[in-house]
Structure formats: C-alpha cells, structure tokens
Amino acid sequence: MVAVAGKVALVTGGRRGLGAALVDEALARGARKVYSTARSAHLDDRPEVVTAELEVRSAASVAALAEIAADVEIVFNNAGILLPDPLLTGDFERVTETFDINVFGPLRVARAFAPVLAANGGGALVNMHSVLSWLAGSGAYGASKAAAWSLTNSLRLELAGQNTRVVGVHAGFIDTEMVSAVKLPKATPAEVAARILDGLEAEATEVLADDVTATVKAALSGPVEHLTFSALR
C-alpha cells in the first residue's frame, strides 16, 4: 500500500488546476511535505509546501529539482499543455511543443527521480493521461496523451525492479482554465484529485477518474473507427 500520510510528495504543475488540488489532497491525507512546481516562481504560505520553479522541457531544470527534492517518495507527473493543433495542418512547432511537454517532460521527470525514489524505498510515480489517450480527433494533444499512456506502461515494467509503483491516470474534462472553452460536463479538480489518491492508496495500476473515462475504456475492444472525440458529445 502506498499511503500518503507521512510521505514527501512532488506535484509538477502544482500552482493551479488539478495540480493545486493534488497538493491540497496530499496535505489533507497527511503528507509531511509537498513540493509544488510551476514554470515561474510562486508562493504558498503553508509550512508543508515547498514551491520550486520547473521547466519540464529542460533536462537541466529537472535535474536541479531532483537535487533539491532528494527526499521525495511520491511523484505526481501532472504538468501538461493543451494545444489541439491538427497533426497535418497545425503549426509543427506547436505540435513538437505538445509532445515535448506532455510526453518527454514526464519522461525527463521519471528519469531524474527514479534514483531518488529508489533511494527512498521505491515509492510511486503517478502520470496524468486523458480519456483522449484513447480517442481520435483532438490532434496533437490526443496523440501526445496516447504516447504518454504507452510511456507509463513501459515505465511500470522498468521501475518494478526498484519497487516503484507506477500509476496511470485517465480523466475526462476537468473544470480548469485549460478546458474552459469546452462545453461538456466536467468534474471538479478536487473530485479528480481525491480519486487519484484513492487509487494510489488502494494500489491501483490505473485510475479511471470519472464515468465517461470508464465507458471509453470499456469500448477499446470495439471497432477503432468508433473511438473518436465525437463520442463524448
């Protein structure tokens, strides 16, 4: 069991949205320290929270954070970006940025913190995906989240030998600034954060954070042409 109480956690992208809710939920469950990162400096007056700057596109930035946060036992790879550019006609630099942040960013964090987690008993790595990992039609964003899902499944195998639990989280739309323009039902960040930590503490391999995600996951064995973004509408 990966109990949060008494542990030291790291939340990338912890300044707002789901990241901020994960910081709150970890503290509510008794985490003794939570590192909360953002691209720029930010403040949090709670004594258990340590804020830090992190650019997940920079290996040097990630390595510097691993030096500072050498006591981390649970890593929440939450930082991400939503740039739904079409794969064929979208700006290629934006497509590249999407993959760099949503796929290679979590991989940089995993590579830097794997030795830290091993030194601290194994702990856990929790990666945020999306229901769009399984649905076509959201351009570079969905493709990047599909790649992130595969990344997590491979990291699970590679980190098993050091006793690090790897958890993949899939969620539909969360009521944050990132998807404020999407006119579909949304869960609150607090609801999703609670489900993530419930799953972590219950030793889940995968967390399906809402009903729509569970429905889409159940449809994966069906015809692939049915797995499109329009299925959510």
Q: Which of 7, 33, 145, 186 is catalytic?
A: 145
CB 84 within 8 A of CB 56: no
CA separation, residue 189 to residues 18, 168, 176 (Å): 5, 17, 7
- C-alpha–C-alpha distance, residues 212 and 166, integer Å: 23
Q: Per the structure block, which two tokens stand in for 3?
A: 């109990």
- C-alpha–C-alpha distance, residues 78 and 6, integer Å: 21
Q: Which of 141, 183, 186, 217 is catalytic?
A: 141
The residue to which tokens 């320290």 are assigned: 33
Is 217 labeled as catalytic in the residue annotation? no
Helix axes 92-99, 139-159, angle to 10 degrees: 30
Is 35 labeled as catalytic in the residue annotation? no
Q: Which residues are catalytic?
A: 141, 145
